[in-house]
Structures are given as C-alpha cells and as structure tokens.
Amino acid sequence: MNHVVSSLKYFRFLWWCQSFIEFMIKLNQVHFSYGHADPIVNGVSLSVSRGQVVAVMGPSGCGKTTLLRLVAGLLRPSRGEATLLGAPLPYDDASALRELRKKMGMLFQFGALFTDMSVFENVAFPLRENTALSQADIQQQVMTKLTAVGLADAAQKMPSEVSGGMARRVALARAIAQNPQIMLFDEPFAGLDPIAMDTIAQLIREQTDELNAASIVVSHDVQETFAIADYVYVMHHAHIVAEGTPMQLWANEDPFIKRFVHGRHGLEVGA
C-alpha cells in the first residue's frame, strides 16, 4: 500500500514538474523570408516556458522583430512550426487566431496610442473590445496597470500631453491590460531614460511572475535585459548564433558575442 501511495506521489510530482516546464511558446526550425528575398529567419528554434522571460538580442536588421511577428502569428513560416500554448498556430482559422491573440499582450516598436482617446481609454480599449468586464472592473484593472507603470496621475491626460517615454509606458500598460499569458515586447526600453528603463524592466519581470506568463523581450539593451531575462538567444544574419543564461553569455568567449555583450552594441548586419 505504501508503495502505491509513494508511486502516486511520484507521478503527481512529475505532473507538477511538467506544468513548470510546459512550453508556452515553441518555434521549431522556423524559416521565413519576405517574398523571394534571402531568409530573414533561417532555421530558428526557441522555446519559452511558464514564468520565463526570454530575450532575443542581436544587431540591427538581424530578424528579431520578424521573429516576434512569427510568434504572434502575424507572419506564417515558410517552413518549420510555431506552437503557442501547446498547439500549432491556427493560421487558416481567423476566429481561432483572434481568440489566441486575446491571450497575448504585444508591445511593438511603433505601437502608437490612439490620439483621440485619453490615457485611461487607451488602456481600457482591449478590455472593452475583448472582454465582458463591468465598467467598475475595467476602472479597477486600468488603474492597477497605470499604477504599475507609475502613471495613475496621467489617466485623464491625452497622448499629446504626455512625453514620449510616458507614452511608451502607457502602451505597455495597454499591452498587459488583459493579464495576458503570452507577452511580446519589441524594444520596450527604446527612448526611455535610465530610471524609466529600470521601471519597465522590473515591471516585465513582475508581470511575468505574477501571471505565470511567458515573455519574449527583443532588445539591444544588454544591461537591462540581462537583469531580468532567464534565458537569452542571440541572433545574427537570420540565425541563432548563441544561447544561454545571461551568466553563460557574459562568459562566452566567442569574439562576436563578446563584442555584443561587453560594449559596442551598435553592430550593423554585416559586422
């Protein structure tokens, strides 16, 4: 009897472990090119499990944003497979894709705010569009997110009345308004001062932990990104050329990785 109980405990333990290593995002040998041009993403595999912040870094033009668009299902791989929440992306089923996107929060590089809506309404927008929350719940959720990005006082301002850095934080609050399970951030630190950068980085970490979500951060900023990432992929010329924990990449002796990680980040594609 004891034997059976301990076996059951063991299987429950395995199941518990599995829930932690479950991949929320998985790309398997994904290829993509725009039209007939050279591949922009060439045989890329990556995975992100629950509660992980994974960074994709690399020089300008190496294909990072394209990779994020492939994860979001905005682009379809020419070869390979993209799996989200355990199932292949349903490219041919628009309504399934729409439902899936409701579980995603995306902050894209040029994700502009709606200029004719207040900061509050910008953050409320996805909640009004995609949920049946009451006005009171929307009010509470929006103010929670605005407080998290340090902008509760700016709720009634219009986008034209806030600075560029503040607008970016509003866009971030909007991206996480629905408590998404998958969060995709394209250059979330661009145009921010060091304090705001730190706030945003910590917020990405905290939201990922609180929601037990899976986040991908695309960034050039080694310091901020390494501070919050569990795992990092480095892209160059459409390929993943290195991967590991921030500590492992910090210690990587490859000349390209050393150059990227330890200083001169402004590498061009041909570097």
What are the residues binding ligand ATP (CB under 6 A)? 34, 40, 60-66
Which residue's CB is nearer to ligand ATP, number 65 or number 202? Answer: 65
DSSP three-state, residue 8 = helix
Supply the minimum distance, in Å, between the C-beta of residue 206 and ligand ATP: 25
Supply the minimum distance, in Å, between the C-beta of residue 148 and ligand ATP: 26
Which residue's CB is nearer to ligand ATP, number 44 or number 142? Answer: 44
216 touches 183 (CB < 8 A): yes
Which residue's CB is nearer to ligand ATP, number 103 or number 265? Answer: 265
Supply the minimum distance, in Å, between the C-beta of residue 60 and ligand ATP: 4
The C-alpha atoms of residue 241 and residue 266 are separated, in whole angstroms, by 17
Which residue's CB is nearer to ligand ATP, number 119 or number 171? Answer: 171
Residue (of 174, 171, 190, 205) closest to 55 by Cα position: 205
Q: What is the largest CA-CA distance in the chain?
A: 70
Supply the minimum distance, in Å, between the C-beta of residue 54 and ligand ATP: 16
The DSSP-derived string for 133-169 is --HHHHHHHHHHHHHHTT-GGGTTS-GGGS-HHHHHH
Q: Residue 249: how many CB atoms within 10 A of its CB?
A: 24
186 touches 210 (CB < 8 A): no
Please count the CA atoms within 13 angstroms of the CA of 99 that sit on its side-chain side.
Answer: 7
Supply the minimum distance, in Å, between the C-beta of residue 243 and ligand ATP: 16
Which residue's CB is nearer to ligand ATP, number 63 or number 126? Answer: 63
